Structure 1
């Protein structure tokens, strides 16, 4: 029995060890969480992640430096003070984080650097405070050899960082909202600062902080939100307003349907998905890469067309089943997985392939390249058509990605058509349609539009533009500067039509 007690005590972490473990968990957890927080406004590009990693390393190094310089003659209360600062700052993020993020997106900063300021303001200070913990723990250590103490505590802190990275990535973000994760990190930060659970005075400040966290974390969402989820890929929300149900992914509208069950499209750009029917005589089998609310795939299945639809995010499929009436049928087969991998493994030919997996703030580059477009070419029949739904401006600097995508597709297909869907200078849906057949004239498309079943596509044909891609790159697997091309869209309002 005594041996068991001794064993239990030997594995019980000291308060300094607990503080260092917590600092590792929270600092790395905040770094991972920052990517989710910034994605809706600044995208998920290499510039965003470079800003997050760079600011985090700078904040930690400053904390280590000044923590080491100020560690002489400290007590555990000094260490606890920085844990308390961390908890207070994270609590403030619950209340003010979104507001500052919105304001910072409007700052006149070159797009590639625009994420640095919000990262520095939102996540720099708490990471800086946590940098003090390891040097202070080394100074407070009872080990006589400070080199040994230093190695021990940095190993403990790294173990905490590993736990924070894996835990935040694979458990917290898929299961909880951002504010709930802030709540957890703030509460976790304050625990080692509590000197004694039996001393009421030591519980006063933590109690105030945790009360604030609970109140902030429980702020009610808007009344028309009917469903929310934090998937491994994005924040998801389903909202009802004025008879329309809309799916938001990463804060951007992705799909919409009428609540009363009407088959009409809510957004006009989906009419352009019928353009391939004007360019070939028969459409019997199609593939959708990207599902969203599965509005178009369901509509096509009802037209007695065989539809395969692949969506990378199982959470999106779940939401579509519950709130957008998605159900598989004889004509509709829904899969989860990466669209390119699915297409490579598929057998047989499609008549049309729809690439509808892009968002304003985030584009999977491997679905934009010449090699991918060649794959779509190889996986369609002799009259094959591909439709790429791009979010961009119709012209000007914000159109660089759309023009680059046009040029890339044009390097593979015999004819390419460029359809802006709205008369606006704002970011909008640009439909790039490519065919293996020779190019049809506007008049020829117009004649077919008049007799097309179900929809009058005359106005859509009228929006066809002849463009010159200009000096933009052909996107390839080994060089696809999608983030650079999309930089002008950061902070640009998205006009979905």
Structure 2
């Protein structure tokens, strides 16, 4: 009763409220949709473009059909549209994971692979919401068609602005995807109740109860049962991604957007759960001597296992750049990170940090390339020149690149090699798996003009007294790749998406160390960090095969179809 009078007193009619709310929800869902779809298909331009296309198409079709039926419009019909959209949101909450996995198996070109899931999940609700604007224009008290339609579409646009801002700056940083979806569902239900005031019928109240129960049931059922990954000990939604910490036996894993980024053996923190992190020590081998290294920079933090390993093994001061503050907080709470004078974290973009820093580093570890989201500004020759300016006279850069060592899927690796070769006197590369699959390839660049052969590095490994034996890693020394068919990446032209395309749908192999030093199958894992962090796409049915390097295991994980 009071709400109804308030609406009348402000001349904000029930149809206009419905239009405003439809704008809020449609834009909120559009932003949230990327968080729902990206873990399976990546946040590639094709995924983003597909979302925009489907949302605009759904709304346009709804506008058109709603306009044709507008002469029969009523508050009661708008109420049913709001209820129907809320029911479909419950469907999204309950079935999104299943639908994403099912549609990922459809044999489509990687460019279009995400479209079936986007259409099924988000086409119907946007279509239903599209009806509301022409219905509201028909029911408007404004005189004249032009004034009524202009007023209604202005309200819808204002609602979209509010939905965009609230979802981006308030909901996503504070709530999980399920909680945000639940919020939108109840906003629609609440609006339907207001539209039915001052005397909602018993039927309306019964529908409110049923839809509310569907929403709550969908949200709670998604958390019922055992998580196949292990025990979820912490989860949150950060401004950048969904974050979870999962314990599986003695191994604690950091998941970002449902993909593994860092792992720690709770019983043996010194163990390199991910084999590729051992390769970071090649920088100390290629420096003048381990004792000559005083300052180290990691671009990409994740669980901070790499930086903590360097802090334990060497007498150095370490800076870590991690763009997501919540990731750093999680590392402090769950991965043993303790900041000190010797290890300090900085919440900023990696390139911005270097451009605004006067520090010089002896070693820079660039762990900044995700499988499907490579920040192009950290790949270009201009960035490499910034790195060069911040490296000491005998400084070393190592870049963790996810790519295949040869074939079409090696384009990104070879382009990055060519780009680094433009700036640094010597560039080396090391595969981390004996397979030809997509893997973590370590590309090392030095300011030292002397070229080390594999035999030279083995001799240095024996003689320099490193705290870790790198003989197995050195055996994965690769010949210089052919870079004639790939570009040198520049700020003006860094075609990273095109270079990543050949990797879509291929297997991603990650070598892991067994906890007892012997071979044994392990589930797929992904590398470290967040803005600047690597990831794998975990799917059911992951296969494993033993690798040949020192009692390690390799986990084969299918890449997302769109990246």
Q: Does the pair score TM above 0.5?
A: yes
How far did residue 257 of structure 1 move? 0.8
1:30 equivalent in structure 2? 29
Q: 1:261-276, aligned counterparts within 5 Å?
A: 261-276=268-283
Q: 1:395-406, aligned counterparts within 5 Å?
A: 395-406=406-417
List per-residue Cα deviations over 1:402-460 (Å, max 9, x = no partner): 22111111111111111111123433211111111232111101111224422111111
| Contact 1:450–1:457 (Cα < 8 Å) also in 2 | no
1:63 equivalent in structure 2? 62
1:301 equivalent in structure 2? 311
List per-residue Cα deviations over 1:84-137 (Å, max 9, x = no partner): 221111110111111111222233222223222222221121111111110011
Q: 1:5-404, aligned counterparts within 5 Å?
A: 9-11=8-10, 13-194=12-193, 195-196=196-197, 198-218=200-220, 219-220=222-223, 222=227, 224-280=231-287, 281=289, 282-302=292-312, 303-404=314-415
| Contact 2:20–2:158 (Cα < 8 Å) also in 1 | yes
Establish whether residue 472 from structure 1 lines up as the match of residue 486 from structure 2: yes
Count of residue pairs the alignment pairs up: 493
| Contact 2:362–2:391 (Cα < 8 Å) also in 1 | yes
How far did residue 291 of structure 1 move? 0.3
- Counterpart of 1:458 (choices 464, 467, 471) is 471
Q: Distance in 2 between matches of 1:8 and 1:30?
A: 26
Q: Distance in 2 between matches of 1:406 and 1:52?
A: 34
Higher mean alpha-carbon deviation, 312-321 vs 344-353, is at 344-353
Q: Secondary structure at the match of 2:509?
A: coil
Higher mean alpha-carbon deviation, 131-140 vs 255-264, is at 255-264
Higher mean alpha-carbon deviation, 141-150 vs 336-345, is at 141-150
Q: Distance in 2 between matches of 1:356 and 1:495?
A: 17
Higher relative contact order (CA 8 A, sep 6+): 2
Q: Distance in 1 between matches of 2:269 and 2:50?
A: 45
Q: Secondary structure at the match of 2:244?
A: strand
Q: 1:420-459, aligned counterparts within 5 Å?
A: 420-438=431-449, 439-451=451-463, 452-459=465-472
How far did residue 13 of structure 1 move? 2.6
| Contact 1:83–1:189 (Cα < 8 Å) also in 2 | yes
How far did residue 470 of structure 1 move? 4.2
| Contact 1:106–1:491 (Cα < 8 Å) also in 2 | no
| Contact 2:7–2:13 (Cα < 8 Å) also in 1 | no
Q: Distance in 2 between matches of 1:187 and 1:419?
A: 53
How far did residue 246 of structure 1 move? 0.7
Please tell me the root mean square deviation across aligned C-alpha atoms, in Å: 1.8
> CA 1:215–1:7 in structure 2 vs 1: closer, same or farther (change >3 Å)?
closer
Q: 1:413-424, aligned counterparts within 5 Å?
A: 413-424=424-435
Q: Distance in 1 between matches of 2:357 and 2:17?
A: 52
Q: Distance in 2 between matches of 1:361 and 1:41?
A: 10
Q: Distance in 2 between matches of 1:237 and 1:342?
A: 27
List per-residue Cα deviations over 1:354-383 (Å, max 9, x = no partner): 111222121111111111111101110111
List per-residue Cα deviations over 1:310-349 (Å, max 9, x = no partner): 1000010011010001111221111111111111111131
Q: Distance in 2 between matches of 1:238 and 1:492?
A: 27
Q: Distance in 2 between matches of 1:40 and 1:396?
A: 26
| Contact 1:246–1:256 (Cα < 8 Å) also in 2 | yes
Q: Distance in 2 between matches of 1:342 and 1:267?
A: 27
How far did residue 33 of structure 1 move? 0.7
List per-residue Cα deviations over 1:23-42 (Å, max 9, x = no partner): 10111011111121122222
> CA 1:180–1:146 in structure 2 vs 1: closer, same or farther (change >3 Å)?
same
> CA 1:465–1:181 in structure 2 vs 1: closer, same or farther (change >3 Å)?
same
Higher mean alpha-carbon deviation, 111-120 vs 323-332, is at 111-120
| Contact 1:42–1:490 (Cα < 8 Å) also in 2 | no
Higher mean alpha-carbon deviation, 187-196 vs 225-234, is at 187-196
| Contact 1:291–1:357 (Cα < 8 Å) also in 2 | no
Gaps of 5+ in 1: none
How far did residue 44 of structure 1 move? 1.9
Q: Distance in 1 between matches of 2:416 and 2:483?
A: 9
Higher mean alpha-carbon deviation, 114-123 vs 172-181, is at 114-123
